Amino acid sequence: MSLASVGTNCSASALPSDVLTTGIYGMKSRLRKAATPYIAVSFALFFFLAECLAQNVRAHDSVEGMRTFLAGMPKAELHLHLEGTLSAETIVEITNRNGIDYFTTAAEVEQSLADRPPGLMGFLEHHFKSQNVMQTRQDFYDATYNLIEKLHENNVIYADLFFDPQAHTSRGIPFDEMFKGIDDGRRDARAKFGVTVNLIMCINRERSVASAFEMLDQAHAVRDKIIGLGMDSGPEYGNPPVKFRDVYARAREEGYFLTGHHDVDVRDSVKHIWQSLDIIGMDRIDHGLNASDDPKLVAELARRGMCLTGSPVKRASDPEPQDIDRIRALDDAGVCVSLNSDDPAEFETGYLTNMLVLFQQASEYTKSDMTRLMFNAFDALWLLQDEKDEYVDVLKEYAVNNDIDWNEVTR
């Protein structure tokens, strides 16, 4: 960022008023008298510019200080779609490798992203096109491995990763081929980068209940390698959580943790969140930020310690990340809400560090506030308490080393 783009507060109050009003040295000659105002103004200008520069440097330092703090923060990602992490270059590489007549240049991918209609369904239109390039076990391996390398660069030390089996099996890709690619990719990346990644298999909500049951059957042999069952895709209206009540009930019996998408500003969002709490018994709520519209729901989420995975993403055309006010309202009410990148290759917010930086700049949250939102992510992990505590301790040590009062984080 250039100095010029950093906001400052230079004003006339920065002028040394005594210099302006009294002149200097009390010079007596007419010439000196005539020159005095010019000298005084020069001095004033000098002080003014020096103060402006100092303010700019201080503001720049604090922006850079915050960026460094957020970049170095140990992180957890709980809302991240494997299929939303393919870069334009990777899409083209896989397309060429598979000899498909599809996106042939990265520019075409970028254009498709830029042209997508606003809203969830517009987003999914592009998302489906790009995920469909993946066909072989190698494609899934590469996507997973490359993603985890990116997570490591963002100091993400733990992630729950969504994947959409039905989006692939419906194209004729065997479940086992897809799954082995993902699982081997995460195993090798873990050995290399030390990032723990657990997998959440998602129901595509627009598909049938029978198809969701079939997916559970296909996953049976690798049940112990999948931590949770989620639900994504769309449209959400017409495909509410209760549609999959029996699928979720069986998944619960089989030991999966349960979650599901409640996209923001979808019709009946609040009703769907209540269903997911009271009928499905979800363990986390994905998005769900419309809960802030219903004070009773806010109180219930806080009472249950239920965590929401917020994703304040941003398209190139948006001035700032979405949903900041809702996240603030929920956080202020004591609801556990975290920040997540969702589909980092498909939003301008990108990977988690960049998203946190953009969110912080727009919200003006303090370092303690940003640490609390990250603490919420670690607090929401589906791990044993002592495993969770180990992660929280890593974050706590980082916070304390950065002079943050932990009581403000866990206020």
Residues of the shown chain interacting with ligand ES4 in the complex, contacts defined by CB under 6 A: 81, 84, 120, 127, 232-234, 261, 263, 342-343
Shortest distance, position 67 Cβ to ligand ES4, whole Å? 26
What burial letters (b/e) apply to 46-72, b meaning 16+ CB within 10 Å? eebeebbeebbeebbeebeebbebbbe
Q: How far is CA 172 from the centre of its chain?
A: 31
Site for Zn ion contains 142 (CB under 5 A): no
- Residue 142 binds which one of ligand ES4, Zn ion, none, with CB within 5 to 8 A depending on kind? none
Q: Where are the alpha helices (DSSP H) in 8-132?
A: 17-22, 30-72, 88-97, 106-115, 120-131
Shortest distance, position 161 Cβ to ligand ES4, whole Å? 12
Size of site (CB under 5 A) for Zn ion: 1
Structure tokens at 284: 């986390």
Sign of the CA dihedral running 352, 358, 364, 367: positive
With respect to ligand ES4, which residue has the nearer C-beta, 150 or 372? 150
- Residue 84 binds which one of ligand ES4, Zn ion, none, with CB within 5 to 8 A depending on kind? ligand ES4
Structure tokens at 156: 């993400």
Shortest distance, position 378 Cβ to ligand ES4, whole Å? 22
With respect to Zn ion, which residue has the nearer C-beta, 51 or 342? 342
Shortest distance, position 122 Cβ to ligand ES4, whole Å? 12
Shortest distance, position 321 Cβ to Zn ion, whole Å? 15
- Residue 331 binds which one of ligand ES4, Zn ion, none, with CB within 5 to 8 A depending on kind? none
Residue nearest ligand ES4, Cβ-based: 232
For 355, what's the count of Cα atoms within 13 Å in the CB-facing half-sphere?
33
- Residue 357 binds which one of ligand ES4, Zn ion, none, with CB within 5 to 8 A depending on kind? none
Q: With DSSP H G I counted as helix, E B as strand and the rest as coil, what are the percentages for the chain, rounded to 5?
A: 60, 10, 30
Helix/strand number for the chain, H first, E second: 17, 9
| Binding span for Zn ion by CB under 5 A among 1-9, 55-63, 341-349, 351-359 | 341-349
d(CA 297, CA 291): 6
Structure tokens at 134: 């993946």
| Residue from 139, 160, 164, 342 binding Zn ion (CB under 5 A) | 342
Q: What is the phi-psi region of residue 119: left when phi exceeds 0, alpha when psi lies from -120 to 50, beta otherwise?
A: left
- Residue 326 binds which one of Zn ion, ligand ES4, none, with CB within 5 to 8 A depending on kind? none
Peptide bond into 235 cis (omega under 30): yes
With respect to ligand ES4, which residue has the nearer C-beta, 163 or 256? 163
Shortest distance, position 319 Cβ to Zn ion, whole Å? 22
d(CA 40, CA 256): 76
- Residue 407's φ and ψ, nearest 5 degrees, are -65, -30
| Binding span for Zn ion by CB under 5 A among 188-196, 270-278, 329-337, 338-346 | 338-346
- Residue 160 binds which one of ligand ES4, Zn ion, none, with CB within 5 to 8 A depending on kind? none
- Residue 272 binds which one of Zn ion, ligand ES4, none, with CB within 5 to 8 A depending on kind? none
With respect to ligand ES4, which residue has the nearer C-beta, 205 or 372? 205
Binding footprint of Zn ion on the chain (CB under 5 A): 342
